Amino acid sequence: MKSNDSLMILALAAALAVAPFFIYPVFLMKVLCFALFACAFNLLIGYVGLLSFGHAMFFGFAAYVSGYTVKTWGFPTEIGILAGMLVSAALGLVAGLIAIRRQGIYFAMVTLALAQMVFFFCVQAKFTGGEDGIQSIPRRALFGVIDIRNDFTLYYVVLAIFLAGFLVIYRTIHSPFGQVLKAIRENEPRAISLGYKVDNYKLLAFVLSAALSGLAGATKAIVFQLATLTDVTWQMSGEVVLMTLVGGMGTVLGPFVGAAIIIAMQNYLAQFGEWVLVIQGVIFVTTVMLFRRGVVGEIGAYLAKARGTAKE
Amino acid sequence: MFELLGVPPQALFGQLLLGLINGAFYALLSLGLAVIFGMLNVINFTHGAQYMMGAFAAWMLLQYAGLPFWVALVVAPLIIGLTGIIVERLLLSRLYHLDHLYGLLLTFGLALIFEGLFRKQFGSSGLPYQNPLPGGVNLGFMFLPWYRGFIVMFSLVVCLGTWFLIERTKLGAYLRAATENPQLVQAFGINVPRMITLTYGFGVALAGLAGVLAAPIYSVTPVMGANLIIVVFAVVVIGGMGSILGSIVTGFGLGIVEGFTKVFYPEASNTVIFIIMAIVLMIRPAGLFGTQR
Per-residue confidence at B6, pLDDT binned at 50, 70, 90? low
Chain B residues touching residue A121 (CB < 8 angstroms): 271
In whole angstroms, give the CA distance from residue B161 to residue B244.
Answer: 11
| Predicted ipTM of the assembly | 0.88
Do residues B217 and B24 lie in contact, with contact meaning Cβ atoms separated by under 8 Å? no
Q: Which residue has the higher pLDDT, A289 or B227?
A: A289
Q: How many domains does chain B have?
A: 1
CA atoms within 13 A on the CB side of A117: 20
The per-residue pLDDT for range A10-23, each reduced to its tens digit, is 888 888 888 888 88
**CB–CB of B230 and A292 under 8 A?**
no
Q: Which residue has the higher pLDDT, B204 or A299?
A: B204
Per-residue confidence at B8, pLDDT binned at 50, 70, 90? confident
**CB–CB of B230 and A51 under 8 A?**
no
In whole angstroms, give the CA distance from residue A136 to residue A221.
Answer: 10
pLDDT at B3 over 80: no
Do residues B251 and B235 lie in contact, with contact meaning Cβ atoms separated by under 8 Å? yes
Query: Is A11 an 8 Å CB contact of chain B?
Result: no
By the 10 Å C-beta count (0-12 exposed, 13-18 middle, 19+ buried), B139 is classed as exposed
Chain B residues touching residue A101 (CB < 8 angstroms): 281-282, 285
Helix H segments across chain A? 2-18, 25-47, 56-71, 77-99, 104-124, 151-173, 176-186, 188-193, 198-224, 234-247, 254-269, 275-290, 294-311
Chain A residues touching residue B116 (CB < 8 angstroms): 274-281
Per-residue confidence at B292, pLDDT binned at 50, 70, 90? low
How confident is the model at residue B181, as a pLDDT?
87
H or E element that contains B176:
helix B170-180
Q: How far is B117 from chain A (nearest CA, A)?
A: 6
How confident is the model at residue B41, as a pLDDT?
85
Which region among A39-43, A110-114, B140-144 has the lowest average model confidence (pLDDT)? B140-144
Interface of B with A in 229-288 (CB under 8 A): 230-231, 233-234, 236-237, 267, 270-271, 273-275, 277-278, 281-282, 285
Per-residue confidence at B1, pLDDT binned at 50, 70, 90? very low
**CB–CB of B230 and A116 under 8 A?**
yes
Chain A residues touching residue B228 (CB < 8 angstroms): none
Q: Which of the 8 DSSP states describes residue B35?
A: H
C-alpha distances out from residue B121 to A275, B141, B208, Å: 10, 44, 19
pLDDT at A2 over 70: no
pLDDT at A312 over 50: no
Residue of B nearest to A292 (CA): B102
How confident is the model at residue A171, as a pLDDT?
93
Do residues B159 and B248 lie in contact, with contact meaning Cβ atoms separated by under 8 Å? yes
Q: Residues near A259 by Cβ (< 8 Å), separated by ≥ 6?
A: A31, A34, A35, A37, A38, A243, A247
Dihedral, CA of residue B185, residue B190, residue B193 and residue B198, to nearest 10: -110
C-alpha distances out from residue B107 to A100, A289, B42, Å: 23, 11, 9
Query: Is B122 an 8 Å CB contact of chain A?
Result: no
By the 10 Å C-beta count (0-12 exposed, 13-18 middle, 19+ buried), A76 is classed as middle
pLDDT at A39 over 50: yes
Q: What is the mean pLDDT of residues B211-219?
A: 92
In whole angstroms, give the CA distance from residue B63 to residue B43.
Answer: 33
Domain annotation covers residue B263: yes
C-alpha distances out from residue B210 to A57, B156, B227, Å: 30, 12, 15
Domain boundaries, chain A: 2-232
Q: Specify the CATH number for the domain of residue B162.
A: 1.10.3470
**CB–CB of A98 and B282 under 8 A?**
yes
Q: What is the mean pLDDT of residues B157-179?
A: 91
In whole angstroms, give the CA distance from residue A42 to residue B250.
Answer: 34
How confident is the model at residue B160, as a pLDDT?
94
Domain housing B190: 8-115+144-283
Instruction: Count A/B contacts: CB-CB distance under 8 Å.
Output: 118
Domain annotation covers residue B289: no
How confident is the model at residue B5, as a pLDDT?
61
H or E element that contains B143:
strand B143-145
Which region among A45-54, B6-15, B107-116, B166-175 has the lowest average model confidence (pLDDT)? B6-15
Query: Is A241 an 8 Å CB contact of chain B?
Result: yes
Domain annotation covers residue B46: yes
| Strand-pair partners of A227 | A134
Query: Is A277 an 8 Å CB contact of chain B?
Result: yes
Domain annotation covers residue B167: yes
Nearest to A284 among B37, B108, B233 (CB): B108
Interface residue of A285, A286, A287, A290 to substitute, partner B, most B CBs within 10 Å: A285
Q: What is the mean pLDDT of residues A197-202?
A: 94
Do residues B58 and B212 lie in contact, with contact meaning Cβ atoms separated by under 8 Å? yes
Residue of B nearest to A95 (CA): B278
Contacts by B15-19, CB closer than 8 A, 24 or more apart? B15/B259, B15/B260, B15/B262, B15/B263, B16/B256, B16/B259, B16/B260, B17/B142, B17/B144, B17/B148, B17/B152, B17/B259, B18/B259, B18/B262, B19/B255, B19/B256, B19/B257, B19/B258, B19/B259, B19/B260, B19/B262
Q: Which of the 8 DSSP states describes residue B92?
A: G
Cα-to-chain-centroid distance, residue B105: 20
**CB–CB of B113 and A120 under 8 A?**
no
**CB–CB of B277 and A238 under 8 A?**
no
**CB–CB of B230 and A284 under 8 A?**
no
